[in-house]
């Protein structure tokens, strides 16, 4: 293959890898945002608990950010040992419900006010802290992906494969959630891996001799195989 054609192949591979890197970087930055948001929520929750419900500003911030934090809880599913906790988040509004219960408990007597942190505040803190742990695990995984060029290529090819669905999502024919659900399916991940291996294999062949030389090797191997089979038959 001529040098300009080899350059085109390299540029196409580099473009696909760059797209994949951008996707991975965006996901990592989103994890950083969710981590920072959860830490701020915990700080306001601590303020509210320590004030025994008197810090109205802290409570107002908690209410304003509870729905967003709940969405973050559902968008960062747990894996492995934490999977059951991640599934429970998607089944009920944990943050909103516990925040409301904590607020309600403060409207009763001093005994309830004294026990409130143990009953609701600490439970809510445990939920958010667990969410932070999941995010930190995901961040560690994402850092590994961000330094692996083969993963960049795989993710870039995944974006190209899913391009028709992405277009449908952009024009509003399917939801963003449906698009992400398809991308998370095992069958799509397997297809993405297979296509990536095929692209790498094809690129190596094209860069080192081209298809004609590769076809010559296959033909030669086939002829040698036939001769070996014929010799084996004569021996038998």
Q: Has residue 138 been placed in a domain?
A: yes
Q: Has residue 151 been placed in a domain?
A: no
pLDDT in tens, 165-222: 888 888 888 888 888 888 888 888 888 888 888 888 777 776 766 555 555 545 555 5
Q: Has residue 195 been placed in a domain?
A: no
What are 145's two structure tokens? 């992906």
Q: Has residue 82 been placed in a domain?
A: yes
How high is the pLDDT of residue 31?
93
Whole-angstrom distance, CA of residue 210 vs CA of residue 205: 6
Whole-angstrom distance, CA of residue 8 vs CA of residue 223: 34
Neighbours of 208 (CB within 10 A): 11
Provide the pLDDT confidence category of residue 108 given band limits of 50, 70 and 90.
low
Calculate ∠ Cα 218-221-226, nearest 5°: 125
Query: Is residue 119 over pLDDT 80?
Result: no
How high is the pLDDT of residue 203?
76
Please give the share of the chain, as a percent, with pLDDT higher than 90. 21
Q: Has residue 76 been placed in a domain?
A: yes
How high is the pLDDT of residue 19?
93
Q: Quick check: 91 and 109 in contact, CB under 8 A? A: no
Q: Has residue 229 been placed in a domain?
A: no
Residue 233 vs residue 126, higher pLDDT: 126
How high is the pLDDT of residue 82?
43
The number of domains in the chain is 1
For the entire predicted model, the pTM comes to: 0.72
Q: Rounded to whole angstroms, what are the CA distances from 166 to 126, 155, 173, 176?
A: 37, 14, 10, 8
Mean pLDDT of 143-152: 92
Q: Has residue 136 been placed in a domain?
A: yes
How high is the pLDDT of residue 151?
92
What range defines the domain where residue 97 resides?
23-145
pLDDT in tens, 2-41: 566 677 778 888 999 999 999 999 999 999 999 999 999 9
Mean pLDDT of 158-168: 88
Calculate ∠ Cα 83-86-88, nearest 5°: 110
Residue 29 vs residue 128, higher pLDDT: 29
Q: Has residue 174 been placed in a domain?
A: no
Q: What CATH number is associated with residue 39?
A: 1.20.1440
Provide the pLDDT confidence category of residue 121 given band limits of 50, 70 and 90.
confident
From the centroid of its chain, how far is CA 110? 46
Query: Is residue 120 over pLDDT 80?
Result: no
């Amino acid at each position: 293959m001529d040098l300009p054609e080899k350059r085109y192949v390299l540029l196409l591979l580099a473009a696909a890898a760059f797209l994949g890197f951008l996707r991975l970087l965006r996901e990592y930055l989103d994890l950083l945002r969710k981590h920072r948001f959860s830490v701020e929520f915990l700080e306001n929750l601590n303020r509210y608990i320590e004030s025994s419900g008197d810090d109205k500003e802290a409570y107002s911030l908690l209410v304003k950010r509870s729905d967003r934090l709940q969405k973050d809880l559902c968008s960062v599913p747990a894996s492995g040992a934490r999977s059951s906790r991640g599934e429970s988040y998607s089944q009920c509004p944990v943050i909103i419900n516990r925040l409301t219960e904590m607020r309600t408990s403060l409207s009763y007597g001093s005994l309830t006010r004294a026990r409130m942190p143990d009953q609701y505040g600490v439970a809510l803190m445990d939920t958010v802290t667990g969410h932070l742990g999941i995010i930190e695990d995901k961040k560690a995984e994402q850092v590994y992906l961000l330094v692996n060029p083969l993963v960049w290529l795989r993710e870039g090819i995944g974006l190209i494969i899913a391009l028709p669905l992405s277009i449908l999502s952009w024009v509003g024919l399917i939801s963003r959630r449906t698009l992400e659900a398809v991308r998370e399916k095992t069958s799509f991940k397997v297809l993405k891996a297979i296509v990536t291996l095929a692209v790498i294999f094809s690129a190596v062949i094209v860069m080192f001799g081209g298809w004609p030389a590769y076809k010559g090797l296959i033909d030669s191997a086939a002829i040698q195989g036939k001769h070996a089979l014929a010799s084996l038959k004569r021996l038998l």
